[in-house]
């Protein structure tokens, strides 16, 4: 196992307890440091998915609030 792999695994494991957007940013930051392009792409893809989930969550909250005001 390379040092980069160990660090990536550590960040992914430890980031699990962080808020979603913090995790997304940590994954983007880690991707910028990782030399392996496949790993970097996977981290960016994970970051994008987390950001999309957070946006959908925020929209759902807004939709529920609007519905409650009707």
Burial of 30 (0-12, 13-18, 19+ CB in 10 A): buried
Domain ranges for the chain: 3-69
pTM over 0.85: no
The confidence band for 44, taking pLDDT boundaries of 50, 70 and 90, is: very high
How does residue 31 score in pLDDT terms, banded at 50, 70 and 90?
very high
What average pLDDT does the structure give for the chain? 91
pLDDT average, residue stretch 35-59: 93
DSSP 10-60: HHHHHHTTS-HHHHHHHHHHHHHH---HHHHHHHHHHHHHHHHHHHHHHHH
Burial of 12 (0-12, 13-18, 19+ CB in 10 A): middle
Query: pLDDT tens digits for 7-20?
Result: 888 988 999 999 99
């Amino acid at each position: 196992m390379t040092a980069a792999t160990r660090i990536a695994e550590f960040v992914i494991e430890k980031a699990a307890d962080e808020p979603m957007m913090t995790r997304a940013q940590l994954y983007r930051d880690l991707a910028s440091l990782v030399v392996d392009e496949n790993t970097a792409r996977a981290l960016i893809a994970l970051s994008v998915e987390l950001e999309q989930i957070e946006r959908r969550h925020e929209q759902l909250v807004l939709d529920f609030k609007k519905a409650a005001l009707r």
